[in-house]
A and B are shown apart, each in its own frame.
Chain A
Amino acid sequence: MTELAQAVVNGLQMGFLYALVAVGLTIIWGLMEMINFAHGEFLMLGMFGAWWLSAAFHLDPLVAIVPIALMMYAFGVLVYRQLMRRVQGGDPFTQIFATIGLLFLLQNAVVAGFTSDYRFVNDTLLQRLGGAKLQVLGVTFAVPLLLAAALALLLFLVLYLLIERTEFGLALQATSEDRDAARLVGIRPQRMFSVAWGLGAALVAIAGAILVNFFSVYPQVGLQFTVLAYAIVALGGFGSILGTLLAALLVGVIQSVTVVYLPPAFKDAFVFASYLVIGLLRPQGLFGRF
């Protein structure tokens, strides 16, 4: 029983980290309905940025979040303006093609610059708390993961308020609903799309800066997180910020509980099996509106 409770707690903690990776995707893919296969490479850039700032300037990843987020916002806007805006005119599948090209380009540019070695960020603020643990009813909470989870929650709250409660957020939603109608009421869709790409890239880079506290960094690190992130966004329902958070927690719990009973190879398979079961019962995702 304690083992199961511990698995659920571990899963929830991982779930918050997954939520961080997925939330950028919710904006670009879930809300604006554009496909970005290079999402994992944005994450990888965020992680490499945090590693580099730590190695070169002894900047703690938690501090590095600010410059990294700003840089990646600019990068996301650049990608939209120079590439995705042109691609939007073609078939939706062209977005896949273009972003796979971007994936090759970014991943291998980092391989060329830094090689494929695994890198670690040592002695960060969160890692110094490494030994600290909270014991509640025989279940152990690791303090660094708890802090990361709190950060993730804070980010989600800000984003939720931004999308659901501000005029800007409404304009973003209006653009995703009907581009031409949005233009009629004075919203500039191109601007909304570039802000969405900037936000999506900045958010996943922030996720990267937090993840370097717990995971090693290498150019191919993105894929394992993004495959799950895609499942999380679809599971939560398109365009739902709250749905993404809850789906991410669910995915974390499914993974860690699966590992208690089945070989570890099956942990992702079980997440996707759950997606299929839930999808067949509720084709629009858990919290999807359409």
Chain B
Amino acid sequence: MARIALIVGALVAIVYPIPLQLQGTTYYQTVGFLVLLNAMLGLGWNVIGGWAGQFDFGPQVFFAVGAYTSALLYVKLGVDAWLALPLAAAVAAAICAVLTYPLTRLRGHYFAISTVAIWMIAQPIGATWEYIGAAQGLFIPVKARSSVVTSALSLQFTGPTKALGYYYAALALFALTLALMAWVERSKLGFYFRAIRDDQEAAEGIGIDSRLYKVIARSITAAVFGAGGVLYAFWALSVFPEQALELNWSTLPIMATVVGGIGRLWGPVLGAVILIPIAQIMSTTLGTGPLAGRGIDLIVYGLIIVVIAAFRPTGLLSLPWSRWLRLRRPAIA
């Protein structure tokens, strides 16, 4: 059952943009790109927030680290995006490890505020550091690509195929992240993380170094956010502090994870598939026309979130899906 759902989901994800592209619309490919990007970030945040159970409100710092690293490599050294991607993820993870190790002395809400602190300190640094372009940031020039293959190899898509190209790039990265997380969930690491979340003292009692494994968990999160930052930078063709360090890069993935089901592998995916299109579609329908600029779309969006939270606080994946699905089958007496 689960395998069939997986195959169907993968097929839909691969095929659905094609008829739209042939019709000449690109809007839904961009929505799909944002869904996949946020689902990927949510998968990353689920490691520190869902499995290790730590309040991390500052992963957007590592999104920015990834975006800036790849932009610097591309602009200053001419390194292509796909090569910069693992480098940027590694740099994000390394910086995260160095910053997070001292922070793991703090627990609970104190740790949460310390992750916010790193973000608050990163903002003026990003806005004043001349080497990375200060407040203006860095522009990523587009090099002329002759064919689809060279575009894909350099992660630079232009013209009418831009949305489609980045959609498939995001799909590939998302699938890679999902596979990686499925492995982490079942590995010894995953069990250590959950042991620390459920009872830190007991976990230490059986010899788990809680500080070390919190750092590892957050570094995995940082690597995913770094990779997401690279993808976003090349999509946006620029990196600047207010964009790369925007609060949305943590709140959207966190909300997606919580609404889908925190600590479950598919939770962030389901959450992103629900929340991002709702936000996008409402901002294009309710956000335009006579009531434009009055925030009607965000009122409805807020209302939907409040209602989901009030009536299913444990996330949508916690609903008794298997029982409901079984009910639909013909009863075998």
Stretch of B88-96, B122-130, B137-145, B232-240 that contacts chain A: B122-130
Q: B206 in the interface, Cβ–Cβ < 8 Å? A: no
| A242 in the interface (beta carbon within 8 A) | no
In the complex the two chains form, what is the Cα distance from A266 to B302 in whole Å?
A: 32
Complex contact A83–B301 (CB within 8 A) = no
Cβ–Cβ contact B254 & A105, under 8 A: no
Q: Find chain B residues with CB under 8 A from A94 CB.
A: 258, 262, 309, 313-315
Question: Quick check: B313 and A90 within 8 Å, CB to CB?
Answer: yes
* Bound-complex Cα distance A80 to B129 (A): 44
Bound CA–CA A282/B301 (angstroms) = 40
Please measure, in the bound complex, the distance between the C-alpha atom of A33 and the C-alpha atom of B107, giving whole angstroms: 14
Residues of B near A263 (CB, < 8 A) are 124, 128
Chain B positions 260-310 with a Cβ under 8 Å from a chain A Cβ: 262-263, 291, 293-296, 298-299, 301-306, 308-310
Most buried by A among B102, B124, B125, B254: B124
Q: Which residues of A contact B296 (CB under 8 A)?
A: 108, 112
What residue in chain B is nearest A270 (Cβ atoms)? B121
Looking at A9-17, A49-57, A177-185, A273-281, the stretch in contact with chain B turns out to be A273-281
Contacts of B118 in A (CB 8 A): 272, 276
A103 at the interface (CB under 8 A from B): yes
Residue contact A90 to B315, C-beta cutoff 8 Å? yes
**Smallest CB gap from A111: residue in B:** B295
Across-interface contacts of B125 in A (CB, < 8 A): 269
Cβ-defined partner of B306 (8 Å) among A92, A98, A112, A231: A98
Complex: how many Å from CA A83 to CA B258? 16
B314 close to A269 (CB less than 8 A): no
Q: Across the interface, do B109 and A29 meet the contact criterion of CB distance under 8 Å? A: yes
Neighbouring A residues of B299 by C-beta, 8 Å? 104-105, 108-109, 112
A interface residues, how many (CB within 8 angstroms): 50
Complexed CA–CA distance, A82 and B305 (Å): 14
Residue of B49, B55, B107, B309 touching A98 (CB-CB under 8 A): B309
Q: Residue among A91, A111, A268, A273 with the most chain B CB within 10 A?
A: A91
Interface members, chain A 73-103 (any B CB < 8 Å): 82-83, 86-94, 96-98, 100-103
Confirm or deny: B110 has a beta carbon within 8 angstroms of a beta carbon on chain A: yes
Q: Is B34 an interface residue (CB 8 A)?
A: no
Residues of B within 8 A of A271 (CB): 120
CB of A284 within 8 Å of the partner chain: yes
Asked whether, in the complex, the Cβ of B105 is within 8 Å of the Cβ of A103, the reply is: no
A120 to B116, CA, bound (A): 31
Please name all residues of chain A whose beta carbon is closer than 8 Å to the beta carbon of B298 when the two chains form the complex.
104-105, 107-108, 111
A160 at interface (Cβ–Cβ under 8 A)? no
Q: List 22 A-B contacts (CB under 8 A).
A: A33-B109, A83-B310, A86-B310, A89-B314, A91-B258, A94-B309, A97-B258, A98-B306, A98-B309, A100-B251, A108-B295, A111-B294, A111-B295, A230-B113, A230-B116, A231-B116, A238-B109, A271-B120, A272-B120, A273-B121, A280-B106, A283-B106
The 5 A-B residue pairs whose C-beta atoms are closest, nearest first, are A90-B313, A101-B305, A104-B302, A108-B295, A105-B302
